[in-house]
Amino acid sequence: MSKGSFPRAPRRDGVSGRPGGRATPLIAALVALVAAGLAGWLLWDAGGGEDDSAKRPVAATSAATSRAPAAPGPSAAASGPRSPSPSASGTTASPGPSAGEGAGVADGEAPRADGPLKGKVVLVDPGHNIRNSEHTAEINRSVDIGTGRKECDTTGTSTDAGYAEATFSLDVAHRLRTILRNQGAKVVFTHDGERAYGPCVTERAAIGNKAHADAAVSLHADGSAVGNRGFHVILPALVKGGAADTAPIVGPSKELGARIAGNFVRTTGSPPSNYIGGGTGLDTRGDLGGLNLSTVPKVFIECGNMRDPEDVGRLTDAAWREKAAQGIADGITDFLRG
């Protein structure tokens, strides 16, 4: 982590920066489909693909040699204790993940009555929490993700200038909520900046499950080495252990991820990752509690690399973040409408 950013806590549930898996015929086909554009993505075979349930190592993060541009919003460099700030609904921060377990934050405004997503429920999970760095003991505690144990949550990453991933993810979440609401969907957040920390990855999954979400997406930005750039969507591997059983959601989650990836390329102009997924913009993992414990179709999206100056130029631009939200929303809409 660079100067002026969060202290490096154990890495977050969803960080990548790992070498991609071995190539398969499906991966090769998907590379061609990305090059062909959105139409190709819509031919994705939700039942195909090689399961990847092994945890892969995280590559070392390299600090950028040039300073990244700052962006509006709370800085990860803020020092000293902060009092819980009001949420959008006017409530103050809860004491932590135990409060309202599995309840989530319901959209305060009614969705459009005649939209194409009328009757659909979408779970939006803004990655991390800007206050996590003030509660390291709580977020570092171990939780059961079915196939093992991981930290409750982590601080996430940031740009060299201190623009936090947690700030980015919540901003995109708000934009995404507005778009989906206008399409008629009911939107549930895992949190809306109102909590003192977290929620834990286990609760993030539980909130989507309790809401019976038709689709769920967790919003992130990566913290990899300079030169690693582009977005990728993380799909759940086929895993079973303890409370984890992804068998019912692997197929639909792959379809959801492929449609989000195709629309993200088209809408943002951002390329698929050049370091994860073999050029497809898709990666499969079995070590993420937010996916392992989900019983509804769910994916993570790493919208870019906060340590690469080229990607930082996109991530810190409000107009690009609006495009990112639109691309994700279009992918969700395509998936829900079949």
What amino acid positions are annotated as catalytic residues?
302
Q: How many angstroms separate the CA atoms of 45 and 115, rounded?
A: 28
Q: Please report, in angstroms and rounded to a whole number, the separation of the first and last CA atoms in the chain.
A: 41
DSSP 180-249: HHHTT-EEEES--S-BSS---HHHHHHHHHHTT-SEEEEEEEE---TT--SBEEEEE---EETTEE-TTT
d(CA 157, CA 146): 25
Long-range contacts of 139-145 (CB under 8 A, 24+ apart): 139/9, 139/197, 139/198, 139/200, 140/9, 140/10, 143/200, 143/201, 143/202, 143/289, 144/202, 144/242, 144/243, 145/201, 145/202, 145/244, 145/287, 145/288, 145/289, 145/292, 145/293
- CA-wise closest residue to 310 among 273, 279, 255: 273
Query: Are residues 93 and 31 in contact, defined by beta-carbon separation less than 8 angstroms?
Result: no
Residue 277 main-chain phi, psi, to 5 deg: 90, 5
Instruction: Match 């991390």 to its residue by tokens.
Output: 128
Q: 135-155 in b/e burial notation, b at 16+ Cβ within 10 A?
A: bbebbeeebbbbbbebbbbbb
